[in-house]
Amino acid sequence: MTKDNMSRKKGLGRRRFLQLAGAGALAAPFAGSFPAPAVAQAVTVRWWYHFDNPQHSPAELIAKFEKENPGIKVVAESIPWGGGNDYYTRLFAALVAGNAPDCAMVKLNNQARLVEMGALEPLDDMLKGWDARTDITEDIWQLNKANDGKQYYLPLQYVVLYLYYRPDLFEQAGDAAPRTFDDFLKAAKALTKDGVFGFGMRGGAGGHDHWGPFVLGGGANFRKGGMVSEAALAANRWFVDLGTKEKVFPPSAPTDGFRQIIDGFKAGRTAMTIHHVGSSNEMVEALGDKVSAVPVPRGPDGNGWTSFGDESNAVFSASANKEAAFKWITFLSTAENNVTFNGFTGQLTVTTSGMADWKLHPKRFVEASEQSLAMAGVLPDSPKTADFVRTVWPTNMQRALLGQISPDDMMQAIEKHFHG
């Protein structure tokens, strides 16, 4: 045997010995002969999120996750929502520039655009190994599925929009909570007096959720020609007239955003508005039993429409840490973690186990959410939906309420945006 062969055999024996022996027992004897093994670097996952209340923080959940996953560090970046405009403007810019986070909170009305950009990582294969998948109902999974049949979004929370109303003011006016468009108009007119307006209308970004129940619920739809049918045009004229002719909206309605409609209702400046269960605790804190909720009114044909308010997490295809990012977002959608998360956001858990003992909202608001599911819908899964939400709808709605364009002009602009 040559010296070289002997050296190789000695080396192999020593390495084999190290593999078989306990690392702790061997550390001292060989400390002087071998360099210390490199310490594995923690993987950093960047996650973008937004909360309506910026005072809330996911720090508690991050600490819990990092304790359970010591090889992963989560850097959470709170991005201003700004009705969706600020958040998505920054997200799209970051994706194009190549400095996007590993994962982020996302909504359905931007999914098609993100898929078209190739920005999203399909989660289907990774979800096969996630034991908690069945704790989220199949209805929610289906609502979140993309047009190509793939699952890019992991559900995080949901809400269904309904009508908040002041039962004390309705009682004084001799009215019951509205069930139909006619009921709504009658009540809104009766309640508009003495500095109070019948309905707190959100004309700024996000206000399509106020328009949808009356216009989509009144016969409009997003299919070709669906915004310019006679039923659609009539429904939009009726809705715009609420502000311009009936004067049941506050004068600030064309630019009012989320904060303005909630604060106006809490302060007694409006008798009705539309939002979801996420505002219920704040409403009750201000008004006690002088606030309640019912599903949005139904149209003349008995049909109705309200917005299914979703929030999910997605992993971006450019991420170098996809598996770690997936671990983080599944952690947030698992049982008690999801309940804790929605304690910050004020929305509903996506888990069936979490809903079994739900205590975060008064029962009447949870019931209004559940009763509204029958008419809940989502905006079209189209690359054009994001711009509809951010600019097309608010710009044209504001102009119509200010008398700068007709209600029909507004509908023509929406039709043109989606169908040319």
What the chain holds in terms of domains, given with CATH numbers, is: 43-158+308-367 (3.40.190.10), 162-307+379-419 (3.40.190.10)
pLDDT in tens, 379-417: 987 889 889 998 999 999 999 999 999 999 999 999 999
Is the overall model pTM greater than 0.75, yes or no?
no
Residue pLDDT, tens place only, 221-253: 999 999 999 999 999 999 999 999 999 999 999
pLDDT tens string 70-129 = 999 999 999 988 766 789 999 999 999 999 999 999 998 889 889 999 999 999 999 999
Coil, helix or strand at residue 276: coil
CA 277 – CA 220 distance, rounded (Å): 26
Residue the block writes with tokens 């009763």: 371
Query: Residue with structure tokens 């979140």?
Result: 144
Range with lowest mean pLDDT among 146-155, 217-226, 282-291, 364-373: 364-373
146-150, 275-279, 358-362, 403-407, range with greatest mean pLDDT: 403-407
Measure the CA–CA gap between 313 and 13, rounded to whole angstroms.
50
Lowest mean pLDDT among 46-55, 208-217, 324-333: 46-55
pLDDT digits (tens, 9 = 90+) for 108-120: 888 988 999 999 9
Is residue 306 over pLDDT 90? yes
Quickly list DSSP for 218-260. TT--SSTTTTSSHHHHHHHHHHHHHHHTS--S-TTGGG--HHH
What is the greatest pairwise CA distance in the chain? 107
Burial 206-239 (b: 16+ CB within 10 A, else e): bbbbbbbbbbbbbbbbbeeebbbbebbbbbbbbb
